[in-house]
Structure 1
Amino acid sequence: MKRLYYLADNLDSVERISDALHKEGITDWNFHVISKDQAGLYRRHIHSANFIQKSDAVRYAERGAMAGLLFSVLGSIYVASEQPFGPDMSGMVYLAIFGFITLFGVWVGGLMGMATENQAISTYHDDIDAGKHLILIDIRAEEEERVRALMARTHPEAQLLRVGSTLINPFRFAHPAV
């Protein structure tokens, strides 16, 4: 799925955009707003972005899984070569070592990511702090032109910032503009 990032100046505009997109079949599951005014979003029944969308927990958990996978392979090789538990060790011990170290990496990475603002959103941090509202619209690729045309035609006050993906690539560091 693609994610369209729009910036709006006020909640009235965000509410009109939300209503227009709902009429076009975009549900709350695919429409999220990041704003300093969480109470205003709640009062107007506008779907706010959740913690996972605001933080980089998923990206860091993926990185932690890769590091954990590497260390689990190294740990399994060490245990196989040194045999600290004796020569008649079951294959389940290797599986347990492998699983524990990999899941530990996921856990540590996720904790680190929870303390980090989402990389795609951090670019617009100053705008959000200034009181603007970042709108995330998740759509299928074939709907992109229709939604972009609707936004340009009916809500020119909302600025298209970029087109991204809902998939999270743990290796990607820079986000190009539209």
Structure 2
Amino acid sequence: MKCLYFLSPSLSCTQDVSDDLHQVGVSDFYLHVISRDESGLKKQHIHSSNYLETLDVVRDGFIGAALGFIVGLIGIGLLMYFRPFGADVQVPTFVYVILVGAATLFGAWEGGLTGIATENKKLTRFHDDIAGGKYLVLVYVRKHQEEVVRRMMKERHPDAELVAVDSHFINPFSKVARVAEPAQAQPQVKSTTV
């Protein structure tokens, strides 16, 4: 599944895009619009984005969980090395597993709280456009739908610009791929050997 990112200049254009995408078989579940005008989206019955798309909860949660796991392992290593309960006290293995699990969950929780306060890293390059009043339309398409959606958008909505393609939006660590510009014809230079 791919996510196609289109920048739409106005609410009416976004409404038309949404209607036409529904006609070619894209349901609301696979269509999300990010805008600073959430009330305008609601009035027009346009499916807006969710917090997983606009905030960095998932990415920062994974980072926090990884850091918590590492801290948990370091803590267990220190417990095993210093033996604060005495050399002859045997700590069962499940206690170590519980400690690492608790540290991992605490790290995920802290990371998620950090992620709530930050914008999704994939959307930072579109921040100025969204703040300027444009609408970022995210369309999730399967392989067989991609060409139909691209063709329809090119024919009916040339003002809605395709700005990026992502393999899948949920992967928090991938970067958004830029749309390749059409290659300009390069003059061919023939090399001559003497």
For normalisation by structure 2, the TM-score amounts to 0.84
Greater CA radius of gyration, 1 or 2?
2
Show structure 1 runs of 5+ residues with no match: none
Q: CA deviation at 1:37?
A: 1.2
CA distance in 1, matches of 2:37, 2:172: 29
Identity of aligned residues (%): 40
Between Structure 1 and Structure 2, how many residues are aligned?
A: 176
Amino acid across the alignment from 1:177: R
2:140 to 133, 138, 141: 138
2:92 to 90, 93, 97: 90
CA distance in 1, matches of 2:84, 2:159: 67
CA contact (8 A) 2:2 2:140 kept: yes
CA distance in 2, matches of 1:124, 1:98: 38
CA distance in 1, matches of 2:39, 2:13: 16
Paired position in structure 1 for 2:64: 64
1:65-89 per-position Cα deviation (integer Å, ceiling 9, x unaligned)? 1111211111122222323345221
CA distance in 1, matches of 2:114, 2:130: 23
Amino acid across the alignment from 1:41: L
Paired position in structure 1 for 2:188: none
Show structure 2 runs of 5+ residues with no match: 180-194
CA distance in 2, matches of 1:138, 1:157: 20
Q: CA deviation at 1:176?
A: 4.3
CA distance in 2, matches of 1:141, 1:167: 17
SS at match of 1:95: helix
When the two chains are superposed, the root-mean-square deviation of aligned CA atoms in Å is: 1.6
Q: How does 1:1-178 map to 2 (within 5 A)?
A: 1-86=1-86, 87-164=89-166, 165-170=168-173, 172=174, 175-178=176-179
SS at match of 2:139: strand
Amino acid across the alignment from 1:12: S
CA distance in 2, matches of 1:142, 1:108: 40
Runs of 4+ in 1 over 3 A off after TM superposition: none
For normalisation by structure 1, the TM-score amounts to 0.91
